[in-house]
Amino acid sequence: MLHLRILSAMVGIPIILGLVYLGGAYYAFFILLVANLGMREYTALLKSRAYHLPDFIGYAGASIFLTMLYLGSIQDVELILPAVIFIMMSLAVFLLLYFEKTDIHELALILWGIIYLGGFGGYMILLRQLPQGLTYTFILLVGVWANDTFAYFAGIKWGKKRLAPAISPKKSVEGACAAITGTVLLALLVAFFYPGWIGLTPGKAALLGVGISVFAQLGDLLESALKRQFEVKDSGRLIPGHGGILDRFDSLLFTAPMIYYFFALLG
């Protein structure tokens, strides 16, 4: 399993970094693809419990969110609000047309997926569009990947006390602590040796490291909780050694908004 994870990373990471570097429509289309593949996995999980869901609304909703955010920005209410209204109206019409076959809870689950994949995923696009977006997006990717690596190997080596046994029996307190410590140290090393690149004082770099680690682990736990609810090991099998899109991008989706506002508040 480990060799498959390493092989997938060796193939996938250069492609992702290349798309981040290109930015613009290339990177936005990649995030759009990730969101729709994630929606495919998400609706498949829900259907495993015999939900009758309007898949096309999920795909369309996430795509509309991402498209509007790419064309505008988080401040462009004139673009974002109509997208939200359109999605809600589409769900309402679907409920009225198929009232005897559809439960309103199912539509709420689709809306949850749209916000999760389209809304959170949109922040990965917004982050890249900031004036120093290339740097910030690299920080997102490297920070989350480093956090996952620290947690994985520290958990294997020293993990004894379960972090959230009801959600993810394999995650340990020791792995979580090692992830926070390692991510903070990495941020401090970058701030110390490359002050002009990251542009943060050691204190702010440490705070960023803590934020990345905490939000990445929360995103990972959220995905684990989702899989636990539907009694599956992985959300999919698209990425050898890693599972599905949701398994691999859960931490990135959850951490992107935090990094966006961290640097936005810093001006």
35 vs 242: CA distance, rounded Å:
17
Name the band, by pLDDT with cuts 50, 70 and 90, for residue 76: low
Tokens of 138: 């690299």
Res 8: pLDDT: 67
First to last CA, the chain: 43
- Look at residue 2 and tell me whether its pLDDT is greater than 70: no
Range in 53-62, 187-196, 241-250 with the lowest mean pLDDT: 241-250
- CA neighbours closer than 13 Å in the CB half-sphere of residue 9: 15
Tokens of 146: 């480093």
Q: Which helix (H) or strand (E) holds 11?
A: helix 2-22
Tokens 């390692």: give the residue. 182
Name the band, by pLDDT with cuts 50, 70 and 90, for residue 73: low
Highest mean pLDDT among 152-161, 180-189, 198-207, 239-248: 180-189
In this structure, the dihedral spanned by the alpha carbons of residues 66, 112, 246 and 34, taken in order and rounded to 10 degrees, is -20
Residue 5 contacts residue 12 (beta carbons within 8 Å): no
Q: What percentage of residues in the chain have a pLDDT greater than 90?
A: 38
244 φψ region: left (φ > 0), alpha (ψ -120 to 50), beta (else): beta
| Mean local confidence (pLDDT), 157-168 | 83
64 vs 79: CA distance, rounded Å:
10
Q: What percentage of residues in the chain have a pLDDT greater than 70?
A: 90
Going by C-beta distance under 8 Å and a sequence separation of 6 or more, which residues neighbour residue 131? Answer: none
Q: What is the pLDDT of residues 177-228, one digit of tens each?
A: 999 999 999 999 998 888 877 788 889 999 999 999 999 999 999 988 888 8
Give residue 4's identity as a one-letter amino acid code: L
240 SS3 class: coil
Q: What is the pLDDT of residues 21-53, one digit of tens each?
A: 998 899 999 999 999 999 999 988 888 777 777
Res 28: pLDDT: 94
Res 265: pLDDT: 84
Per-residue DSSP letters for 158-222?
H--SEEETTTEEEEEHHHHHHHHHHHHHHHHHHHHH-HHHH---HHHHHHHHHHHHHHHHHHHHH
231 φψ region: left (φ > 0), alpha (ψ -120 to 50), beta (else): left
Average pLDDT, the chain: 85
Burial 69-95 (b: 16+ CB within 10 A, else e): bbebebeeeebbeebbeebeebbeebb
19 vs 152: CA distance, rounded Å:
26
Give the closest residue to 180 by CA, choosing from 224, 143, 225: 143
